[in-house]
A and B are shown apart, each in its own frame.
Chain A
Amino acid sequence: MSHSRLFARLLLQQAGVRHCYTGNRKNLYIDKNTKVICQGFTGKQGTFHSQQSLDYGSQLVGGVSPGKGGKTHLGLPVFNSVKEAKDGTGANATVIYVPPPFAAAAIIEAIDAEISLAVCITEGIPQQDMVRVKHKLLRQSKTRLVGPNCPGVINPGECKIGIMPGHIHKKGRIGIVSRSGTLTYEAVHQTTQVGLGQSLCVGIGGDPFNGTNFIDCLEVFLQDPKTEGIILIGEIGGDAEENAAEYLKQHNSGANAKPVVSFIAGLTAPPGRRMGHAGAIIAGGKGGAKEKIAALQSAGVVVSMSPAQLGSTMHKEFEKRKML
């Protein structure tokens, strides 16, 4: 078969496969009605963050800990499996705090149980495992995965799924999507301080193979009337930012374009080194910060050179557009 026909067939296959999964991006928009279960419920991380979640007011309804089904933990029921937990509580979201050797299996269990949203916090899952998870994920449409290696998703004041400090958030107008947890907190802190607040914050995580990318979140933000501005935080490695820039060119231009502010970490990162995140590596001359910044700027994104100016930059954009 000739190369061009081969690539065309490949393209068609990939487009078909993606359409199946991309149809459930709306599952990202958690709210006060979202019912969450916790996988790895009785472990140290699971326990600590579940308590934090309850303190925040999220609807945590139970958890999974194989072998401990029937017991109670933090006043909530424990189940042996995701399916049992979902059937027993009506949960439509799960947060996964399972250690790396078993985390991929935990994600697959959630997909098999057809739970609408799975958020995997775990850092350190082998890449090969995630490639296998993605293979399954992309060929179904019920479950949306966020992460792994991410801080989670939060709709301030309504639902917090993950490890982010709830108290820095404020209900508001900015949608935030980020590959870095702590940089997200910076953006949240700043947007709270300038009075803009956040509509929805999604940490997509620092791994090279993950369940949700920038484009998935951008679509939700662009279609959400409550989200009036968008902050996108990227870093070196891969081409997610370039793809996002392309998407914004097509879907966020003209008079009604929502302001997008961005920061890209790693301008000073040396090539070939993994900078903390498994996905943060400049390999073969590709994935550098400069190129990402240029791509985003060409899509009308305001790129801040300092991570401390995200809030102020967004505020200026709102001022310019008389949105304050």
Chain B
Amino acid sequence: MAASMACQAALRGLRAASSKQLLGSRNQLARVSPRRWLNLQEYQSKKLMQDSGVTVQRFFVADTASEALEAAKRLKAKEIVLKAQILAGGRGKGVFDSGLKGGVHLTKDPAVVGELAGKMLGFSLTTKQTPKEGVKVKTVMVAEALDISRETYFAILMDRSCNGPVIVGSPQGGVDIEEVAATTPELIFKEVIDICEGVRDDQALRMAANLGFKGPLERQAADQIKRLYDLFLKVDATQVEVNPLGETPEGQVVCFDAKINFDDNAEFRQKAVFAMDDTAESDPLETEAARYDLKYIGLDGNIACFVNGAGLAMATCDIIDLHGGKPANFLDLGGGVKENQVYAAFKLLTADPKVEAILVNIFGGIVNCAIIANGITKACRELELKVPLVVRLEGTNVQEAKRILSESGLPITSATDLDDAAKKAVAAIGKN
């Protein structure tokens, strides 16, 4: 029972990164894929894979049309696939403001590669997953197009129920793995990996066989599986998803696409990976917050939240919603917060044009409430606060904090508990 529950948990964990196959066996063209969160471009993920000996289509990257032309020539491939590099999915069906339709093109002629690249680079590509104005394309990938005779699905993730890594696969690749799990669960195969042992030969071969690789391909696939696992550990991934892990008519096992999710906690020892983070398509407020080590996530509403502790921060958003309001953000100040972070956080919240009220909810354990109070009063004065501010403080040094706020002369509404604070914040919006 536990094992099958674990299996369900494992493969549902994959839905976030699954992609839809829209056209036959040529999956390079149309892909609906959700955003990756440590923001690596496709070519960066593929470079990481290449460096681990994982077989990917040969490719070059280019920043100019002439570079793209040269790359296409250098490839000496029977057929070339040209792919705009943006983080958002839906590239195949996207449109450039140059007029070019489609962010992914196949051609046998390097000259065409150069010509098309010229209509991609420096232009904005709009897809179903980009903002209306699209995303500026700075890089293209020029890769060898390979035929796929068969597609499988393969992933590696850290699974809580199994206390460690699991490898999951299905011979039904290229399609939504969630659907496979729902309709034909017997086609999902799983192996629990002992982190001290690694992937055993018998496990790799069994998975390869279950994925439908036969003869010499079985050993080749098993080898790819082991290399993907090595990569998974090497870059501190929480998940590596390959869809499809394909078989070519020439008898090669190739990873046609991969999504890698990275463990943020490992940033201190994955500097090279995190240096590749492209924040161009991210929320600028989130990027700014990260500079101050603030955990900030933008939401859709108009009541800004300023909270210490992730659980309390989530609960604050929940309770605003419960009382009919809409949170504008999630913000966890953390335990060891310093006064300049408080100031920076406040500045960030007030910079968001959607914000019509601010709710401060602090329960100080490590956090000293007086520090919060000083940071807030300073920020309010310097930023000339224009929106209503509701403050609820409790915990370490709360009396001093309350004194600082009341003597500041600032228009601050006090609240006794979280319910009271949320109600007042929602009411404050109404008054404007």
Contact = CB atoms under 8 A, between A and B. Distances in A.
A196 B200 CA distance: 54
B37 interface: yes
A131 B264 CA distance: 15
A239 B13 CA distance: 12
B160 A128 contact: no
A180 B312 contact: yes
Given A128-B236, A308-B417, A276 B332 contact: yes
A244 to B, nearest CB: 14
B315 interface: yes
A268 B318 contact: yes
B309 A183 contact: yes
B351 interface: no
Contact of B419 (A126, A239, A306): A306
A274 interface: yes
Nearest to B191: A6
Contacts of B396: 165
Contacts, number: 201
Interface residues of B, number: 69
A272 B310 CA distance: 16
Contact of A14 (B3, B299, B311, B319): B3
A283 to B, nearest CB: 5
A265 B318 CA distance: 7
Q: Chain A CB within 10 Å — which of B11, B299, B312, B334 has the most?
A: B312
Contact of B310 (A100, A127, A238, A277): A277
B314 A272 contact: no
B179 to A, nearest CB: 12
Contacts of A283: 12-13, 15-16
Nearest to B202: A1
A286 B13 contact: yes
A113 B285 CA distance: 46
A100 B238 CA distance: 17
B160 A238 contact: yes
Contacts of B178: 284-285
Interface stretch (B66-74, B89-97, B134-142, B161-169): B161-169
Contacts of B160: 208-209, 238-240, 279
Contacts of B236: 126-128
Interface of B: 1-5, 9, 11-16, 34-35, 37, 158, 160-161, 163-165, 178, 192, 194-196, 233, 236, 238, 263-266, 268-269, 295, 297, 299, 307-315, 317-319, 321-322, 327, 330, 332, 334-336, 363-366, 394-396, 417-420
